[in-house]
Structure 1
Amino acid sequence: MKITEPAPGAPCWVELGTSDPAAAKQFYGELFGWRAETDPRPEAGGYTTLLLGEAPVAALTPLYTPGQPTAWQVSFAVADTDETVAALGALGGSVLMEPTEVFDLGRFAVVADPAGAVFSLWQARAFRGAAVLNEPGALGWVELATRDTGGAKEFYPRIFGWSVTSGEDYTQWGLAGRDFGGMLAMGEQFPAEVPPYWMPYFAVADVDLTAERAVALGASVMLPPVEMLGGPHLSVIRDAQGAAFGIYLARE
């Protein structure tokens, strides 16, 4: 990721909604060295910030609604959540949670693109988002998996002003050429019942050792460590509750 701090249109935060917050705290704490701080206020609903040292890098929550899957959710920074929601709706997107104030921290909404990939919008006030990006233990890349790559190339640049760099097999998203994410076409290897989704990748110092450690902690490896042609060394993992995430080698 060439974005080093939250910026309008760029990924700024990731949250894990999980069926077992206690197990998730232990797993990710041991895997990435994260420290968990749960907001004690009843109205916070068990919201837990995950810190790398003193820097907030992610969060986890219980599942709030029936049928909500255990999954990571990517947030993108916006200047105005309400205006972005309106623009998104006009382009065929949908709103799953209307814009809501989060204490004095910011304004939040959960939305989906026209193909159904869910993500969230964050209008910062007291809280900007991840304090560290693209360092071991922190968010470093986000990836959209979708069956409608053409529609995504139309939709997201109009919503966020992204630049689009299309290769033969992969598309990269960026802001003024500063790439922060990509898009994967969902082919036959994806079961028909799997919906489009956004997935975070976290930077690590050693992909192979981190994948081995994840398995020892109860996770499963969906994509074994691989050196992508012309790209990073990476792996995709599913935690014991079913949430998928990627890891990749952090480079200086």
Structure 2
Amino acid sequence: MSTVVRHTPGTLSWVDLMTPDFEGALKFYGSLFGWAFDVGPPEFHHYTTCKLGGRSAAGLSKRPEGAEFPPVWSVYFDGEDVGQIAASVRANGGQIMMEPMTVGDFGRMLVAVDPTGAVFGVWEPKNHTGAQAVEEPGAMVWHEVNTRDHKKAADFYARVFGLEARKLDVPGVEYMTLHKGQKTVGGVLQMNDHWPADIPPHWMTYFAVADLDASLAKVAELGGKVCVPPFATPYGRQSVVTDPWGATFTLMTPARLPSQSAG
């Protein structure tokens, strides 16, 4: 178990969920991941920090009444200057959905969409520096953008965040990984004809679990659904699930976690 003090700019530092059932989501994710919750003040719409062993792991809030967007897990890149990043997003074919804004003393943020249609956020940290618990059971362990044009998406993120895109040699799958120096930031997956046409490009968050089968049983017990049955990869077993309100995420028991090597 380790604590991240500061994420490297250009890497993914935070995830959060807007849900139509705030109390229900607290019960679902608290039971599934063992999270405790630090509910925020009214001026921040009770934005809640999900904590794992006293460390921040993710965010949770109630979706505004009448909102037309579905409940989704959103990803945020760490950024040193959201104003400059907004300009780079536009210069490289993306669009800004929410202009840079200040969030109290916590930091600044923006929400954008890449040229292939996937939505993402950028977080410029101040007092809130992102997830402190990562790559351990109950915490985010991987992120990938699923898109209809993986080369265009990879080029966009590489240019905006100073990343290197590398083709991953996987039979039957078009996949690229994004790198910041020695760190692997995330993946870019080509959505092929096997994907339903009505699923738009999107970012997928993976959460680590110690026992995938037990976690899938818990998802079902709590009212969620298994969308993709568990399957093995060289990196571990995984399964795509939804919570009871339709937010999709992936559960994964990695082949090896950094925290496991530390005993």
Taking structure 2 as the reference length, the TM-score comes to 0.90
Match of 2:85 in 1: 84
Once the two structures are superposed, the pairs formed by residues 209-248 of structure 1 within 5 Å of their partners are 209-228=214-233, 230-248=234-252
Once the two structures are superposed, the pairs formed by residues 132-151 of structure 1 within 5 Å of their partners are 132-151=133-152
**Residue identity matched to 2:18:** G
CA contact (8 A) 1:140 1:180 kept: no
**Residue identity matched to 2:28:** F
- Corresponding residue SS for 1:167: strand
Evaluate the alpha carbon distance shift between residue 213 and residue 26 of structure 1 in structure 2; reply closer, same or farther with a 3 A threshold.
same
CA contact (8 A) 1:143 1:182 kept: yes
- Corresponding residue SS for 2:88: helix
- Corresponding residue SS for 2:194: coil
The alignment of Structure 1 onto Structure 2 pairs a total of residues equal to: 248
- Looking at structure 2, the residues matched to 66 and 59 of structure 1 have their Cα atoms a distance apart, in angstroms, of 18
CA contact (8 A) 2:119 2:203 kept: yes
Deviates more, 1:158-167 or 1:195-204: 158-167
Query: Which of these residues, 195, 199, 203, is aligned with residue 200 of structure 2?
Result: 195
- Looking at structure 2, the residues matched to 163 and 140 of structure 1 have their Cα atoms a distance apart, in angstroms, of 20
CA contact (8 A) 2:118 2:201 kept: yes
Pairing 1:207–2:212 present:
yes
Taking structure 1 as the reference length, the TM-score comes to 0.94
- Looking at structure 2, the residues matched to 202 and 217 of structure 1 have their Cα atoms a distance apart, in angstroms, of 17
**Residue identity matched to 1:174:** H
Once the two structures are superposed, the pairs formed by residues 72-151 of structure 1 within 5 Å of their partners are 72-151=73-152
Unaligned runs of 5+ in 1: none
- Looking at structure 1, the residues matched to 62 and 119 of structure 2 have their Cα atoms a distance apart, in angstroms, of 17
The CA deviation at 1:46 is: 2.4
- Looking at structure 1, the residues matched to 164 and 30 of structure 2 have their Cα atoms a distance apart, in angstroms, of 35
- Looking at structure 1, the residues matched to 131 and 248 of structure 2 have their Cα atoms a distance apart, in angstroms, of 20
The one-character-per-residue Cα deviations of 1:7-31 (angstroms, maximum 9, x if unpaired) are 1011100000111111111000000
Percent identity of equivalent pairs: 39
User: RMSD over aligned Cα, in angstroms?
Assistant: 1.5
Match of 2:16 in 1: 15
- Looking at structure 1, the residues matched to 93 and 185 of structure 2 have their Cα atoms a distance apart, in angstroms, of 24
CA contact (8 A) 1:163 1:173 kept: yes
- Corresponding residue SS for 1:225: strand
The CA deviation at 1:177 is: 3.8
The CA deviation at 1:180 is: 3.1
CA contact (8 A) 1:163 1:177 kept: no
CA contact (8 A) 2:154 2:188 kept: no
The CA deviation at 1:217 is: 1.0
- Looking at structure 2, the residues matched to 180 and 158 of structure 1 have their Cα atoms a distance apart, in angstroms, of 14
- Looking at structure 2, the residues matched to 190 and 19 of structure 1 have their Cα atoms a distance apart, in angstroms, of 26
Unaligned runs of 5+ in 2: none
- Corresponding residue SS for 1:6: coil
Match of 2:253 in 1: 249
The one-character-per-residue Cα deviations of 1:131-179 (angstroms, maximum 9, x if unpaired) are 1110111111001100011101210100111222212422222212421
- Corresponding residue SS for 1:36: strand
CA contact (8 A) 1:171 1:182 kept: yes
Pairing 1:63–2:63 present:
yes
Match of 1:158 in 2: 159
The one-character-per-residue Cα deviations of 1:77-120 (angstroms, maximum 9, x if unpaired) are 01100100111011111111111101101001111101110010
**Residue identity matched to 1:232:** G
**Residue identity matched to 1:58:** A
Pairing 1:47–2:51 present:
no
- Looking at structure 2, the residues matched to 46 and 214 of structure 1 have their Cα atoms a distance apart, in angstroms, of 25
